[in-house]
DNA sequence: TCTGGGGTCCTAGGACCC
DNA sequence: TCTGGGGTCCTAGGACCC
């Protein structure tokens, strides 16, 4: 366990800022009339509910629920049902993060709607003022409501944030600094950040049910019985910071693009067109972060919700030298890989690609016997990326990606769905 | 009929070495 | 007959997160 340098420094705090119902809140910024309406935002292909307004939560709509199970319920409560618009959420996220960055020197963007801020304060009243100021500024400058949890460690700040959201004591922040045990007593051990389903079950076997039980457990026993990961959580719960700050945004170590299909795919050609489309998108991300990759993983599968005989999934990882970020090279590799795992006679529901073994493109040592991406290829890709970005859609693409109109039918995520005409669907 | 997508980190165990 | 005790590197997959 590595303790941070400041572990004994009593005036350093960590603030976790979390946007409330982020996707729904983004939509409301541009449609103020929806302020009090129940709203849900759907996943790709309009399959699941991934964001809910407070009103929708109150009405009993669960997180992650498949839409088809709740359509009557949503109709009954006159909910607004929206397809997701990730471009919008990405831009709103950037605005929020820009505002937050003015409040600290040390900030880590943790997800699209969350950030950690390091802050020092001698008195609690200073922290309260600080939190209040952040809440108001973000609301004023972006229109997004946020909740803030403040404590000595990340794990405790997560708990503080959770209390703030669950118990909504009017203010939009909560500082967890005193009476910590009485709070931990009320928290289920499975609700601690980092404790998932499996660890919860194993902790229950050790008679550890609440966060307080966990905090009071024997650290060396936990380290032996579980792992370094769980042991760190225990120290964090005790107020000893073990989880550091990632100040710079590191380049991705793997880039995944995967989708469920709108309709099932049977033939190899269509399946490969989908895979090629994912490659094009993944390799563009790779180029944007100025990296190359040395491994490509392809996976395909039929629906999980079918009987055992018609279920099939397979995947394959291909390694290659030299490293590349070139779409056409990756498409060639993907074609062979897909052919190897494709089996006719199945109805494929999902496919994905994952680029890994990623290296920075300047530092990469060319293999003496192979040519890397040549400068002409690099320039060609750069121009295509630029044009596609400028026109905000795929204007130039490889023929392997298939007919874009046909692709829309299988992969469309923004296609308005007529069956929801009672709702507002983008 | 209809069930998301994109990440990180860690560990166990195999292969190999001296 | 008797069969050590380290160590490294790599990878697949588990577990967790939003």
CA distance A106 to A121: 14
Which nucleotides on strand C sit less than 7 A from a protein beta carbon? 11-12, 14-18
Half-sphere exposure of A283 toward its Cβ, with a 13 Å CA cutoff? 30
Mean pLDDT of A409-425: 35
* Lowest mean pLDDT segment, chosen from A131-140, A286-295, A308-317: A308-317
Of A9 and A163, which is predicted with more confidence? A163
* Residue A379: predicted pLDDT: 84
Using pLDDT thresholds of 50, 70 and 90, give the confidence band for residue A372.
low
Q: Is the separation of the CB atoms in A413 and A45 below 8 Å?
A: yes
Give the nucleotide with minimal C1' distance to the Cα of A68: B2
Query: Measured in whole angstroms, how far is the alpha carbon of residue A335 from the centre of its chain?
Result: 28
Give residue for tokens 């999934």: A313
DSSP A105: S
Using pLDDT thresholds of 50, 70 and 90, give the confidence band for residue A369.
low
* Residue A137: predicted pLDDT: 97
* Residue A423: predicted pLDDT: 34
- CA(A7)–C1'(B4) in Å? 39
Tokens for A17? 């800022």
- CA(A227)–C1'(C2) in Å? 38
pLDDT in tens, A193-247: 999 999 999 999 999 999 999 999 999 899 888 989 999 999 999 999 999 887 7
Q: Is the CB of A243 under 7 A from strand C?
A: no
Which nucleotides on strand B sit less than 7 A from a protein beta carbon? 2-12
What lies within 8 Å, CB to CB, of A383 at 6+ separation is none
Q: Is the CB of A43 under 7 A from strand B?
A: yes
CA distance A117 to A153: 11
Is the model's pLDDT at A183 over the cut of 80? yes
């Amino acid at each position: 366990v590595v303790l941070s340098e400041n572990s004994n420094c009593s005036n350093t705090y960590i603030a976790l800022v979390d946007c409330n119902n982020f996707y729904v809140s983004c939509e409301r910024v541009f449609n103020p009339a929806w302020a009090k309406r129940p709203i849900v935002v759907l996943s790709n292909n309009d399959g699941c509910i991934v964001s809910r307004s407070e009103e929708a939560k109150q009405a009993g709509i669960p997180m992650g629920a498949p839409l088809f199970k709740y359509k009557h319920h949503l109709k009954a409560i006159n909910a607004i049902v929206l397809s997701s618009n990730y471009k919008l959420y990405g831009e709103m996220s950037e605005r929020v993060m820009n505002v937050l960055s003015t409040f600290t020197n040390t900030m880590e963007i943790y997800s699209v709607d969350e950030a950690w801020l390091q802050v020092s304060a001698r008195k609690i009243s200073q922290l309260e003022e600080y939190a209040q100021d952040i809440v108001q500024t973000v609301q004023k400058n972006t229109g997004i409501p946020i909740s803030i949890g403040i404590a000595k460690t990340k794990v405790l700040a997560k708990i503080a944030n959770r209390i703030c959201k669950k118990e909504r004591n009017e203010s939009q922040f909560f500082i967890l600094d005193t009476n910590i045990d009485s709070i931990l007593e009320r928290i289920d051990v499975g609700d601690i950040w980092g404790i998932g389903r499996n660890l919860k079950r194993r902790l229950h076997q050790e008679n550890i049910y609440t966060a307080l039980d966990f905090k009071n457990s024997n650290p060396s026993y936990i380290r032996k019985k579980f792992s370094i990961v769980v042991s760190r959580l225990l120290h964090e719960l005790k107020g000893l910071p073990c989880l550091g700050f990632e100040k710079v945004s590191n380049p991705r170590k793997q880039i995944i693009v995967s989708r469920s299909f709108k309709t099932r795919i049977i033939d190899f050609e269509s399946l490969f067109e989908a895979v090629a489309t994912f490659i094009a998108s993944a390799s563009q991300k790779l180029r944007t972060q100025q990296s190359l990759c040395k491994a490509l993983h392809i996976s395909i599968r039929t629906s999980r919700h079918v009987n055992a005989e018609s279920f099939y999934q397979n995947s394959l990882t291909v390694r290659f030298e030299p490293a590349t970020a070139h779409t056409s090279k990756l498409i060639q590799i993907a074609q062979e890989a897909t052919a190897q795992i494709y089996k006719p006679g199945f109805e494929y529901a999902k496919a994905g690609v994952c680029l890994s073994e990623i290296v920075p493109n300047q530092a990469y040592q060319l293999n003496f016997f192979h040519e890397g991406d040549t400068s002409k290829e690099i320039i060609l890709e750069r121009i295509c990326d630029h044009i596609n970005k400028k026109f905000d859609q795929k204007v130039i693409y490889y023929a392997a990606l298939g007919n874009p109109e046909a692709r829309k039918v299988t992969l469309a995520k923004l296609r308005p769905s007529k069956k929801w005409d009672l709702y507002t669907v983008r």
